[in-house]
Structure 1
Amino acid sequence: MDQVQPNAQGVYSCVAANAVSNQTANSSAELLVYYVPDGHPECMWVPSVNYSHVQLVCSWSGAYPAPELRWRDEAQDPAQDPAQVADSLSLTLNASLLSDGQTVRCTGRHQLLGPGEERTCSFTFRSPYPEGEPLATALEATSVTLTCREVSSVPPADTTWRRGQQQDVIVPGSKYVLSEDGPALKLTILNVSQDDQGVYFCRSQNALAVRELEVYLTVKTSSAYTGAAIGLFIAALIAALAVVVAKTLYASRHRICLGGGFEQIEEDRAEVLSLVDSDDEQLFQDAVPQLPPVTPDPQTTLVQIHRIPSSDHEDAETAEASWQQLEDTEQTDEPEDLVTF
């Protein structure tokens, strides 16, 4: 037989018959197929209701003949570990002798494997480490969900939610809802009230240690949220005013730096206003010519009409035109723009 497979193993019979003498003879033989299964042994743990010990199982099935299995603690002398020829081998360890990071390994050997060749599986013990947000806030009459994740423990830890310093176990009901989302254990508190405010514990335990995540829940009323909103508005308003003041100072920086500050700016502004007032007054007086002396006549009243200039440039032109008109009037003795009443 070529390419013998493990399923070919069994008992085979050969039957011979003589038709002349009507005699038969048979012979049987058993075929044994030595076989090493693919893969490695499997290491598993047996769930336990208490944490005083840990039970492990190493299994490597499908090999013929049965392999030789051995559990070995890498911190101990391998020669002290017993080996057994079996498809499965269990190991019970006292929890008090375990430590975080300790590794135990199951080694499988088979006679078809080469010298020194072996296949293994192992466990590295890890203490639990629950993770989550330590602070939570909820509004009255709403629901809040506290979440705890624990993924590092080996063997897997038993995780529960508890409440208060006495760590009373939380039982699902009309007030509390417990749910699992992958490695996350969630606690939902319904219809939150002030009585629900306080400390909650996510407690994880395996044979190595007990670890807790402390979560403090704060319950607030709607008025508290209103006050917080008002506070945020006031803070934003103050920030906006600060921006306006900063922009104003930045726009006046050249006068502040060169003129000696705000006082100098006010003084300069007062001087400019005084100078403008005096110049405007003198310009107005210069722009309006005086009426020439007129001989009093009880029957006649002379009125000369002048236009007041609207700008500095027009003031000069109008003043010059007015003087020229006055000179022409004096020469002709017939003034223009005169109205006789």
Structure 2
Amino acid sequence: MQNSLHRGQRHWCSTGDVSTTIYPTVVLPNRTLIAEKGSTIYFRCFTLSYPSHQLNLTFSGALTNITSLASTALPRLEYSIVNIQPRSQGVYTCSALTTVSNRRVDNSTELLVYYIPSKHPDCMFVQAQDTSSVQLNCSWFGAYPTPKLRWGEDGDFQVTNSLSLTLNSSMLHDKQKVTCTALHKLLKQENQKSCSITLRAPFPEGKPLVTVLEGTNLTLTCSENTSLPPANTTWRKGQNQDLIVSGSRYILSFEGPAVKLTIVNISKDDERNYFCRSENALGVRELEVYLTVKTSSSVYTGTVIGVFIAALIVGSAFIVVKVLYSRRHTICLGGGFMQAEDSGDVLDLVDSDDEQIFHDTVPQLPPLANGRHTTLVQIHRIPSSEDHEDTETAGTDPQPPEQKEEPTEEAEDLVSF
């Protein structure tokens, strides 16, 4: 018979059996007790025999041979074990020895200490050269008794502390989550411990376009650190994607997740496509890198062309600024940008406060039929440079000025308000 113990619960390992008055009877039961690590357990053995007897409680464990724990000449013996540890697991025996017949009676019970590790199971990949499948392993060491482990949701639990799983590539997809669950007698159903692995397809990263000068050395870098299981990454070249191996012309090096390809003494023949190829059980991804090789003459020509274009841009900007500055007086905010220079007609406006003066000084036309007045506004022309030259010429001309004719009503420029 088994009896489970819980932390902090007091348990007496005894029964109500009685004995005759001649031979002692030990009431420590012949059964198996289960206690959780860190709990407390109590032993009690006694006898009703007469005359008096000697009681002894001994322990036989894995690390300790039979060791006396307690002894008393009284008909009752009590003993407690506080903060039970795995080393407390073993067989406890209570012995009674009569003083008259010198006869001994033993009764034993086995104590099992259950415990589990505080951490969750450990899920990991098993490295393999074959990329057609994935091998996973789930382990949970440090539990007693041996736990039960299961991969997935539909599988069966197996009594083991390490469980492997192999999945074919046809059963896998990107971001697939695989879970390992552990069961134990100390774990309730809602407190199951587990670990998970999320599978990921490879994704190599690097620069897709590279330009280098002929005769120099170049290092191409490709990084791939997101795939699970870890992908196998290689460098290839040309449209046929020939595998590149280390040698005098090509040097391959690995720095963490980065795979570097160094090309020594680059020539024009090295101008081609290069491929960084990463592969795992979930698929193959490639990073295509196009290498452009420049010669020294092309670099010189490019420099000259660049300087010429820069000078052309600067000169054009200078000319535009100069033209704008020379014609700055022709820019009007309300009449458009850069109007013609001969637009010299100006309309004289009078502020509203001088409205009465304006009506007194400006000639008024006769009222119309509806009784409204019409105001006459004279248009003056700003003299231009040509008019100024005409004036100077007229000053030197001895001919008298021509007699101006009175403007007629048809010749007068009128503006009605």
Question: TM-score scaled to structure 2, two decimals?
Answer: 0.56
- Measured on the aligned residues, the alpha-carbon RMSD in Å equals 3.4
2:279 to 193, 205, 209: 205
Deviation at 1:146, TM superposition (A): 0.9
Q: What pairs with 1:182-193 in structure 2 (closer than 5 Å)? A: 182-193=256-267
Note if contact 2:151-2:178 (Cα within 8 Å) is conserved in structure 1. yes
Distance in 2 between residues matched to 1:261 and 1:204, nearest whole Å: 70
Tell me what 2:237 maps to.
Answer: 163
Distance in 2 between residues matched to 1:29 and 1:226, nearest whole Å: 96
Q: Kindly indicate whether residue 112 of structure 2 is the aligned counterpart of residue 38 of structure 1.
A: no
Could you tell me which amino acid in structure 2 is paired with residue 66 of structure 1? T
Q: Secondary structure at the match of 1:106?
A: strand
Give the direction of change, closer, same or farther, for the CA distance of 1:69–1:243 in structure 2 (3 Å limit).
Answer: same
Q: Kindly indicate whether residue 295 of structure 2 is the aligned counterpart of residue 221 of structure 1.
A: yes
Give the direction of change, closer, same or farther, for the CA distance of 1:262–1:216 in structure 2 (3 Å limit).
Answer: farther
1:4 to 70, 84, 93: 84
Tell me what 2:177 maps to.
Answer: 103
Could you tell me which amino acid in structure 2 is paired with residue 249 of structure 1? V
Distance in 1 between residues matched to 2:191 and 2:262, nearest whole Å: 53
Note if contact 2:342-2:384 (Cα within 8 Å) is conserved in structure 1. no
Distance in 2 between residues matched to 1:149 and 1:227, nearest whole Å: 35
Q: Secondary structure at the match of 2:151?
A: strand
Q: Kindly indicate whether residue 192 of structure 2 is the aligned counterpart of residue 118 of structure 1.
A: yes
Give the direction of change, closer, same or farther, for the CA distance of 1:252–1:116 in structure 2 (3 Å limit).
Answer: same
2:326 to 240, 252, 260: 252
Could you tell me which amino acid in structure 1 is paired with residue 325 of structure 2? A
Note if contact 2:208-2:287 (Cα within 8 Å) is conserved in structure 1. yes
Contiguous gaps of at least 5 residues in structure 1:
19-25, 73-77, 283-341
Deviation at 1:239, TM superposition (A): 1.6
Tell me what 2:305 maps to.
Answer: 231
Higher relative contact order (CA 8 A, sep 6+): 1
Contiguous gaps of at least 5 residues in structure 2:
1-80, 98-105, 333-337, 344-382, 397-417
Note if contact 1:163-1:169 (Cα within 8 Å) is conserved in structure 2. yes
Distance in 1 between residues matched to 2:387 and 2:217, nearest whole Å: 69
Higher fraction of strand: 2
Deviation at 1:67, TM superposition (A): 1.1
Give the direction of change, closer, same or farther, for the CA distance of 1:253–1:111 in structure 2 (3 Å limit).
Answer: farther
Higher fraction of helix: 1
Q: Kindly indicate whether residue 167 of structure 2 is the aligned counterpart of residue 93 of structure 1.
A: yes
Note if contact 2:92-2:111 (Cα within 8 Å) is conserved in structure 1. no
Note if contact 1:138-1:218 (Cα within 8 Å) is conserved in structure 2. yes
Distance in 2 between residues matched to 1:272 and 1:30, nearest whole Å: 132
Deviation at 1:101, TM superposition (A): 2.1
Question: TM-score scaled to structure 1, two decimals?
Answer: 0.68
How many aligned residue pairs are there? 263
Distance in 1 between residues matched to 2:123 and 2:279, nearest whole Å: 21
Deviation at 1:82, TM superposition (A): 1.3
